[in-house]
Structure 1
Amino acid sequence: MAEGQQLEVVNNGRTERTGWILNSPDPPDVFHEVFSSIRNTILPHGTKHNSSSPKKSPANKAFSFLQGIFPILEWGRNYKATKFKNDLMAGLTLASLCIPQSIGYANLAKLDPQYGLYTSVVPPFIYALMGSSREIAIGPVAVVSLLLSALIGKIVDPGVDAVAYRRLVFTVTFFTGIFQAVFGIFRLGFLVDFLSHAAVVGFMGGAAIVIGLQQLRGLLGISHFTTKTDVVSVLESVFKSLHHPWSPLNFVLGCSFLIFILITRFIGRRNKKFFWLPAIAPLLSVVLSTLIVYLTKADKHGVNIVKHFKGGLNPSSVHQLQFNSTHVGQAAKIGIICSIIALTEAIAVGRSFASIKGYHLDGNKEMVAMGFMNIIGSLTSCYVATGSFSRTAVNFSAGCETVVSNIVMATTVLISLQLFTKLLFYTPLAILASIILSALPGLIDINEAYNIWKVDKLDFIVCIAAFLGVLFGSVEIGLLVAVAISFLKIMLSSIRPSTEVLGRIPGTNTFCDVVQYPMATKTSGLLIIRVNSGSLCFANANFIRERILKLLTDENEENTKESIHVVILDMSNVISIDSSGIIALEELHKQLVSRGTELTLASPRWQVISKLKLAKFVDKIGRGRVFLNVEDAIDACFDPKMSALNGC
């Protein structure tokens, strides 16, 4: 009698757990999820409150809303003078590196030098208000500068019409900001992840080599140079130009200071106390080389110099945005490419240093901050800005505490624009080329490429494809090839997901793949199959159905003594299902019944069981055929009452 009561309690518990699944509330609809995503991005602390806590007043709600948009309002209240001392030193060190790099990157983007400095003023200020990373340094970067010159240069030649080119750059920057903000507001950060880590490593390596080859123009003082970015065209242009008159003084001057910068970097790495030395080396190179050219009148002997350099505050560029131009569609396409590349670099950099400091970086909020800083930047004569790895590393090494270091850096650049731009008239272009060349080794990560090769050969193919695409094709070809192979990899894993036959690990209630764990034992008369796919949809539903039937056939052929009378489908990994998936399950159920086998579902997820109930599939297989876990499904098949009821 006691044993019968115990079995009754077990059966009642199992029935109750099944009821939890079948009677669960409806999941939120798509519109509710989108609204919640937007609210969670904007509001840092949510809108819910406990019954024990006092209800927030409208003023507190408004302040909470503003904190979500401007994190500086939250951490700024606890900001202390000791932190400012560290941020001040980090900001000044950062500015010494930022000023020469910004001028060089503007030259790489085929813009006048002042636009690189403009981009190091407004975007860092905006990011300091809206960004959440403490270490990231904002400004122009080499890869995005190359992207702009390569893609926009095909539409408008900056050598022919510099004004139209510049206007298109500002328009692309505006679209870049719009896409970045939209990605963040609607929590579409997963789109950036389509550019995989392997693709980024390959793309950065290829872009670094292309950028380095393009700097031969400044380093050799070549006047006529190709606008193409592939390695063959660049080298061909260099060899052709060498047959024409050129000044070796440019090469001597550039290489001398390049060696100087690399030596200071070596010293800084060997002795952490001298971290500031490689940071100030580029600025020191600009100052010394400018003095040398000015005092020796080297510009009269073939040394190419910056010459015209407009200073002052960032001028408005609102009237320069070209929304009525015939190129607006192309500008939007370039904008989405630049937004993804810029976000990929910035978020990777920000998360790397955030993990070192031990705090979490919200990628969606970072996207919103990056988006707004580029939108406002496009209205104030800036081109696309993002987080720079080299400058962020300097900022971190200099001991920055908060994004106030960005404010100090931007203020220093602004003062330089007001007072010192005239002094840069005699700055040799070869020095800017050497500064860019010195920053490129950090973009070529051979060790990471080797690690990718060891871990995942298909990922390595993506890496090499991106590298070769950029090197021998163009920037956009490299990106397209890398993204296409990454998509193909995703599609293969989605269209052909694996299915596992499960067995019980001895002495436990854990069920694992019998191939991976040979000690796992199968249950007589039952076939437990787990579907390893996040979605059961039109792309893979028929494949999964055929795979299950094949596993059933193979199992019956291996075990001739007792045929399989129940197939338990573990749905714990399936988080979504569409109409094609439901039809495939219905066909599977019919085919199993025709073979004298029943179908049982275990661990269905919220969205899945909701749709299966709406499609009446649960009624077709029987409400007693859905269980909370695999163990309940097995126990039900061996329960005499359930077996008689369900035909087990």
Structure 2
Amino acid sequence: MLTSLRQYLPILSWGARYDRNALSNDLIAAVIVTIMLIPQSLAYALLAGLPPEAGIYASIVPIMLYSVFGTSRALAVGPVAVVSLLTASAVGQVADAGTAGYAVAALTLALLSGVFLLVLGLFRLGFLANFLSHPVIAGFITASGILIAASQLKHILGIQASGHTLVETLISLGEHIGDVNVITLVIGVLATGFLFWVRKGLKPLLRKAGLGPRMADVLTKAGPVAAVVATTLVAWGLGLQDRGVSIVGSVPQSLPPFTMPGLGLDLIRQLAVPAVLISIIGFVESVSVAQTLAAKKRQRIDPNQELIGLGAANIGAAFTGGYPVTGGFARSVVNFDAGAETPAAGAFTAVGLAIAAVALTPLVYYLPNATLAATIVVAVLSLVDVSILKKTWRYSRSDFAAVAATIVLTLVLGVEIGVASGVILSIVLHLYKTSQPHVAEVGLVPGTQHFRNVNRHEVHTDPTLLTLRPDESLYFVNARFLEDLITDRIARDAQVKNVVLMCSAMNDIDYSALESLEALNERLKELGIGLHLSEVKGPVMDKLKGTHFPDEMNGRVFLAQYDAWRALTDDSTVRAAE
């Protein structure tokens, strides 16, 4: 019973070993992450088209729930740039930004995402995320980073603009370029330049000044807070609101409220597909970060339990005024580098954000939206990896095509079509690659019992014996390909008397492939050619033994390919090879 509870409540495992040292490290990490999250949460809510407080609300209860159900010691859950963009895109199609319906739709989107993730976790379906290839994910995130940066230019320029695609956004910016607010532009450009400098130049400067690595790191992470404080004071002191500078304005001074998502069937139908896409993207990003950080400390995470943890976090966001959340790369790395020992660091971060929500929100009244936009631009441009195009072009043209198509479709047609295309492309790529598996004709390496590709090695062959090694499991997609290949090969060579399938690379043969082998066996039997198998793996052989195929096969099953060689090759050829 306790073991089962620990499986679904990881807090019971790490909590039993929690000590003073872990508490100290978690508290320090929480302070650093809280400082970083305050401006980020406000900024990502702006990106999602929601009031700034929604970003803070989405960073409190979800983090606490993840600390109970999640398995990563360092993953920091909350609003992230890509999910915020996806939220704005999905919710913007069912309600107008700034309306009550928009906020309710965002809550519903979080609820649907949470339920979907929870169901996947309970049914142990985390493997489904593997169908989204890394190159496609990289392409989507790169395109999303460009879209997000472009969407924030309106706040930095101080103009009104709109658009769901890069083309629409640029056209809208061009149409309103004459309305640029110079003061807003100066604030946005200076804030952006300062934040870029903080990322690269502040920590080395502080280290040269004699500060220790921990303090230098804390001050570097507090860079966005410095930008927030400075621009807020300037906007307040100079009365920039009266000179056309857009500010955050009044932010409710309260803890996350209890909220109810919309449960209308029409709303659910409209948001169901976006919720699934957001869940998949968020889960893949979250798990990749969690696994990377866990490996550095020789720890492990459970992807299926991560689904449950993220599902609980999103459901929590739905009932506490938030919107969809996931594990963020930047904040998780900061949490890890700051020394977080357990998920309790996330819970302490939530407490810090709760204190900020109650005590500090009045201080951001005069905060320019241009500063928040600068925070977003600097954060997302680190996600842009154009080099993935060059890398995939050199390594695999099919992967390059998938990456390029994902980037172009996302930029031109929008994020939802882009991510949907990425999912479809990942599956199509997998099916394409396995539909035409590499099949090597092999021969005996002289003086050994090893068999290698005749096109790569000097090997002995027998003109009457055709040995093929399919480097893939056989299933409905590629079974006909192998059947046609063998048929064409024997049609060109009348000397072939025996065909051996070397099955060392086969992990499975499905029923469609079995039927294809049966048809091939009948065809070869009519031609007087034997069909043999060698090096069949145990689980595959167990399945075959449950059918009539081994008895009806016009040949034998050999334990090793060398046994087949000796049995089916004349003695003179065997002696020559030895």
Task: Report how far residue 250 of structure 1 moved.
Answer: 1.2
Instruction: Determine if contact 1:257/1:285 at 8 Å carries over to the other structure.
Output: yes
Moved more, 480-489 or 544-553: 480-489
Residue 425 (structure 2) aligned to one of 485, 509, 533: 485
Aligned to 1:82: 21
Structure 2 CA distance, aligned partners of 1:569 and 1:291? Answer: 76
Q: Which residue of 1 aligns with 2:178?
A: 243
Number of the residue aligned with 2:101: 164
Q: What is the rounded CA distance, in whole Å, between the counterparts of 1:118 and 1:579 in structure 2? A: 52
Aligned counterpart in structure 2 of residue 547 of structure 1, from 468, 473, 485: 485
Q: Is contact 1:265-1:277 (8 Å) kept?
A: no
Match of 2:151 among 188, 191, 214: 214
Match of 1:258 in 2: 192
2:491 matches 1:598: no
Name 1:509's counterpart in structure 2: 449
Distance in 2 (alpha carbons) for counterparts of 1:184 and 1:269: 40
Instruction: Tell me the equivalent position of 1:535.
Output: 474
Q: Residue 251 of structure 1 aligns to a residue in which SS?
A: helix
Match of 2:547 among 599, 615, 626: 615
The answer as to whether partners of 1:268 and 1:276 remain within 8 angstroms in 2 is no
Q: Percent identity?
A: 32
- Take 1:505 and 1:180, find their aligned partners in 2: how far apart are those partners? 52
Offset of residue 151 of structure 1: 1.9
Cα distance in structure 2, aligned partners of 1:606 and 1:361 = 30
Secondary structure of the 2:455 match is: coil
Is the Cα contact below 8 Å between 2:43 and 2:376 reproduced in 1? yes
CA distance in 2, matches of 1:440, 1:494: 35
| Higher-Rg member (1/2) | 1
Aligned partner of 2:64 in structure 1 is 125
Kept in 1: contact 2:116–2:276 (CA 8 A): yes
Deviations 1:169-194 (A, max 9, x none): 11111111122222233332332222
1:114-513 counterparts in 2 under 5 A? 114-159=53-98, 162-222=99-159, 224-226=160-162, 228-244=163-179, 246-268=180-202, 270=204, 273=213, 274-317=216-259, 320-513=260-453
Structure 1 stretches of 5 or more lacking a match? 1-61, 558-562, 641-648
CA offset at residue 456 of structure 1?
Answer: 1.7
- Equivalent residues of 1:453, 1:460 under 8 A apart: yes
Equivalent pairs, count: 563
SS, match of residue 222 in structure 2: helix
CA apart distance, 1:425: 1.5
Check whether the contact 2:310–2:326 (CA below 8 A) recurs between aligned residues: yes
The equivalent residue for 1:34 is none
SS at match of 1:150: helix
Given the superposition, is the C-alpha separation of residues 352 and 296 from structure 1 closer, same or farther in structure 2, using an over 3 Å criterion? same
Q: Which 10-residue stretch deviates more, 400-409 or 90-99?
A: 400-409
Separation in 1 of the partners of 2:543 and 2:338? Answer: 55
1:47-102 CA deviation, whole Å, 9 max, x = no partner?
xxxxxxxxxxxxxxx11111111222212222222222222111111111111001
In angstroms, what is the RMSD of aligned CA positions?
Answer: 2.2
- Higher mean alpha-carbon deviation, 506-515 vs 297-306, is at 506-515
Q: Which runs of 5+ in 2 are unaligned?
A: 208-212, 572-578
Residue type at the aligned position of 1:592: L
2:564 to 626, 633, 639: 633
For residues 247 and 83 of structure 1, the distance between their equivalents in structure 2, rounded to whole angstroms, comes to 49
Question: Do the aligned partners of 1:604 and 1:628 also contact (CA within 8 Å) in 2?
Answer: yes
Partner of 2:41: 102
1:54 alignment counterpart: none
* TM-score normalised by structure 1 residue count: 0.82
1:69 to 2:8 alignment: yes
Q: CA offset at residue 290 of structure 1?
A: 1.7
How far off is 1:248 after superposition? Answer: 1.5
User: Deviations 1:209-240 (Å, cap 9, x if unpaired)?
Assistant: 11111111211222x322x2211211121122
Give the conservation status (yes or no) of the 8 Å contact 1:390–1:442. Answer: no
**Offset from partner CA, 1:274-299 (integer Å, 9 cap, x none):** 32233101112212222222222221
Scaled by the length of structure 2, what TM-score is found? 0.92
- SS of equivalent to 2:536: coil
Distance 2:568 2:121 in 1: 49
* Cα displacement (A) at 1:525: 3.6
- The C-alpha deviation readout for 1:484-505, integer Å capped at 9, x for no partner, is 3333322222222222112223
In structure 2, what is the Cα distance between the partners aligned to 1:453 and 1:83? 46
SS in 2 for 1:577: coil
Quickly say closer, same or farther: Cα 1:535–1:365, change in 2 above 3 A.
Answer: farther
Once the two structures are overlaid, the 10-residue window that deviates more, 129-138 or 177-186, is 177-186
8 A contact 1:536–1:574 mirrored in 2 = no
- Say which is worse superposed, 600-609 or 97-106, in terms of deviation: 600-609
Change (3 A) 1:448 1:508: same
Checking the alignment, whether the CA contact within 8 Å between 2:158 and 2:185 is kept in structure 1 is: yes
Paired residues of 1:575 and 1:606 also in contact (CA < 8 A)? no
Per the alignment, residue 575 of structure 2 pairs with none
Letter in 2 for 1:257: A
Supply the distance in 2 between the matched residues of 1:504 and 1:69 (Cα, whole angstroms): 53
- CA separation in 1, counterparts of 2:448 and 2:222? 62
